[in-house]
Amino acid sequence: MNTLRLIGGIVAVPLGTAVFAWLVLTLAAPWLARRLMFHPPREAPPVPSGVRELKTSEGGTVAVLHLPNPPARFTLWYFHGNAETLGTCEAWLREVHRAGFAVFAVEYPGYGLTTGQPSEESIYAANRVARDYLRHELRVPAAQTILYGNSLGGGPAVQAATEEAVAGLVLQGAFMSAYRVKTHWPIVPFDQFRNLAKLPALRCPVLVMHGRDDDVIPFAHGRALHDAVRGPRRHLWVEGAGHNNLINVAGESYWRVLREFAELCARPNAAAP
């Protein structure tokens, strides 16, 4: 009996410690997420020519950039990554424009010119303001819009794809969900940007691109996102690419895959039934 009590006590201590650690992590996760997930540039970023500041119902502003391209079949709506603004990604946006797309991009709250503090819900709200402008002022329909989420931007891009029937969705270096970048497994409740859980409901074509040597958001995230898609899907796995150099390492194959994906989106009945 004494031996059994001793064994029970040994087991109970680490189990109790693990439960306590889990509770602390669960309570601290939302606070830690705000501090660790969002990294607006500390210095004032450059402001591209043509930026428009949209007014929100709360009196704030949402910065957007539109690069029209009348012959283009699609407008590519870019959701930027962490530490990015419209100014820091302007050169790439103009490359996409030269590649044959119209371009639309939005800054998140607390990044660049957009007012407010970054959070999952504030980013979604800012994107809805931008979407109203894109649909009603610029008159670009959802059926002619390809959403493109880079890294953190995968979260708002996936969410936007759940809210209207767009032509397609591109995810570059995106995660399954925010917390799982660190925990690997879904062990913490109230996770944010739950991309993996949302993807099976989408019917538009999806392109997932990921560097095999990504040490920020591991390649397993890209693979899992691709496998979760139930509709038409494509992928580009780039050997030797990390998180921030996928386009440079992929070279022309990146642009070829992007053009081929646009062709897939243009096919009649491209969306899954």
Question: Which one of the listed residues 66, 221, 226, 243 is annotated catalytic?
Answer: 243
Place of tokens 């704030």: 60
Rounded to whole angstroms, the Cα distance separating 14 from 77 reads 49
Rounded to whole angstroms, the Cα distance separating 246 from 180 reads 21
Question: Which one of the listed residues 80, 119, 122, 151 is annotated catalytic?
Answer: 151
Q: Is 104 helix (H, G, I), strand (E, B) or coil?
A: strand
CB 193 within 8 A of CB 177: yes
Is there a catalytic annotation at residue 151?
A: yes
Question: Which one of the listed residues 66, 80, 210, 214 is annotated catalytic?
Answer: 214
Is there a catalytic annotation at residue 119?
A: no
DSSP 37-79: H----SSPPP--TT-EEEEPTTS-EEEEEEE--TT-S-EEEEE
CB 186 within 8 A of CB 22: no
- Helix-helix angle 154-163:120-132, to 10 degrees: 50
Is there a catalytic annotation at residue 227?
A: no
| Residue 109 vs residues 21, 45, 58: alpha-carbon distances, Å | 32, 14, 13
Q: Which two tokens stand for residue 136?
A: 């009603």
Catalytic center residues = 151, 214, 243
